[in-house]
Amino acid sequence: MPYTARVGPKVASALGRWAYNMAGFNQYGLYRDDCLAEYGDVREAVRRLPEKLKDERNYRFIRALHLSATHTVLPKEQWTKYEDDVKYLEPYLKEVRREREEKNKWETTM
């Protein structure tokens, strides 16, 4: 029987926090959802965002582009924290994927 390690919530959280910080996008004030490639379902989910969320997303992008162009990052106290990261795109993305799956199901039954 192969050995399978059990990872407790604290270990998984510590590993997730470490990976989050190593990715580096948080140093520019970006959220995890800001880093999703904008193709297909993600593009449609972004299109469906309310204007306020779109404006906030655009502001984060402009700030990150400016920081990147000047070869700087935000001061550490302004970095996006693992605990504060908001998956703002997830509900819209789930809806888009559910609709696409339903559409595919209807197309295959006809």
The ranges assigned to domains in the chain are 32-109
Write out residues in the chain with pLDDT < 70, as ranges: 1-12, 110
Query: 48-58, pLDDT tens digit by residue?
Result: 999 999 999 99
Report H helices in the chain.
Answer: 9-23, 40-47, 51-69, 90-109
Write down the pLDDT at residue 92.
Answer: 96
Query: 28-44, pLDDT tens digit by residue?
Result: 999 999 999 999 999 99
Rounded distance between C-alpha atoms, residue 64 and residue 81, angstroms: 16
Rounded distance between C-alpha atoms, residue 21 and residue 83, angstroms: 11
Write down the pLDDT at residue 2.
Answer: 52
Reported for 43-51, long-range contacts at CB under 8 A and 24+ positions apart, including other chains, are: 44/96, 45/89, 45/92, 45/93, 45/95, 45/96, 46/89, 46/92, 48/92, 48/95, 48/96, 49/88, 49/89, 49/92
What predicted TM-score, i.e. pTM, was given to this entire model?
0.79
Written out in words, the top-level CATH class of the domain with range 32-109 is: mainly alpha
Write down the pLDDT at residue 50.
Answer: 96
Write down the pLDDT at residue 3.
Answer: 47
Write down the pLDDT at residue 7.
Answer: 47
